[in-house]
Amino acid sequence: MTLSTQFITMLTMVGMGSFFGAAFDTYNRFLKRASRKSWIVFMNDVLFWMLQGLLIFYVLFLVNEGEMRFYIFIALLCGFAAYQSLLKRIYLHMLEIAISWVVAIWQFLVKLFTGLVYKPILALLMFSLSTIIFIGKGLFSLGKTLAKILAWTLLLLLKPIKWILFIFWKLLPKGIKKNVEKLYNVMAGFLGKIKKYFSKVMAFIKNKTHHKK
């Protein structure tokens, strides 16, 4: 490995050490260890360290084809120490500003969506539902009114027919009246027998079902 390659490798590893420090602070900022369960913290820690190790090795592979030297670890420690002493406060301050900006933009987008999409659609649905209910009530009231008018009209029309039939019945000869009354009595008796038979059948069925239970 040439001197230029070694120099580039040193600078790159110093940068990766600083990057690791920033990534570690970012990871701790979003993880919130105190409010997480221990097994979740453990799994996240394992994944974080694996990802950082793979990333450092990938960068090292791009720089010097993955050749490991002792000074690489020293360069990583130097970069991490430089970040902790010089850049940590600045980075954390910028991180909080970036987070606040992202949160503010997200809240603005949520309010914009709520005001331009959600609330108009909800208002339209409520208006449509209210209109349907209003029309339904109106049609129901109209139907009731029409039914009352129709019933009153039928009663009004049936009254003359009733009087005509009554007068016609009065004008019939007594012999025809007797025959009509006999026919009416026969039909009434026949219908009464059918009703009694039907009642007996229903009682028999109820008794059978009761005994089965």
Judge contact between 78 and 11, C-beta under 8 A. Answer: no
Domain ranges for the chain, please list them: 3-98, 176-213
Distance CA 68, CA 79 (A): 17
Average pLDDT over all residues of the chain? 85
User: Over the stretch 111-158, which tens digit does the pLDDT of each residue have?
Assistant: 999 999 999 999 999 999 999 999 999 999 999 999 999 988 888 887
Q: Provide CB contacts within 8 A for 41, sequence distance 6+.
A: 31, 33
- For range 20-34, the mean pLDDT: 88
Backbone angles phi, psi at 197, to 5 degrees: -65, -40
pLDDT band at 6 (very low <50, low <70, confident <90, very high): confident
Q: Angle CA(69)–CA(74)–CA(7) in degrees, nearest 5?
A: 65
Residue with the two structure tokens 């990938």: 58
In the chain, the percentage of residues whose pLDDT exceeds 70 is 92
Q: Is the pLDDT of residue 208 over 70?
A: no
Give which of 177, 174, 196 is closest to 185, Cα–Cα. 177
Name the more confident of 179 and 108: 108
**How far apart are the C-alpha atoms of 75 and 69, rounded to whole Å?**
10
